[in-house]
Amino acid sequence: MEETFQAGKGLAGLDEHQVRRFTSWSRWVTLVMLAHAFLAVVGADEHARHSGPGRTDPAHL
């Protein structure tokens, strides 16, 4: 869980919000978590695409 929180801070800007009210904080956290989930899915897709079973890259041999 801590690694996910650190990744959210680094990639999606979880620590960039100045809290004034709970409503704005909850909206910010929701937006950041959605952005982080999107980045995780895109990253996993890219990883799967570049390391597929038919890959003949000499670096993988």
For residue 52, the SS3 value is: coil
What is the count of structural domains for the chain? 1
Answer whether residue 55 is part of any domain: no
In a domain, 20, yes or no: yes
| C-alpha closest to that of 28 among 17, 40, 39, 12 | 17
Please give the pLDDT value at position 38: 92
CA gap 7, 25 in Å, rounded = 18
How many C-alpha atoms does 39 have within 13 Å on its Cβ side?
A: 14
Residue 10 domain boundaries? 2-44
pLDDT of 8 above 70: no
Give domain status of residue 15, yes or no. yes
Name the average pLDDT for the chain.
Answer: 75
Chain centroid, CA 27 distance in Å: 17
> For the segment 28-56, what is each residue's pLDDT rounded down to a tens digit?
888 888 988 898 899 888 888 887 665 55
Q: Are 25 and 16 in contact (CB under 8 A)?
A: no
The mean pLDDT of 56-60, rounded to a whole number, is: 54
The pLDDT, as a whole number, for residue 61 is 47
Residue 9 — pLDDT band, cuts 50, 70, 90? low
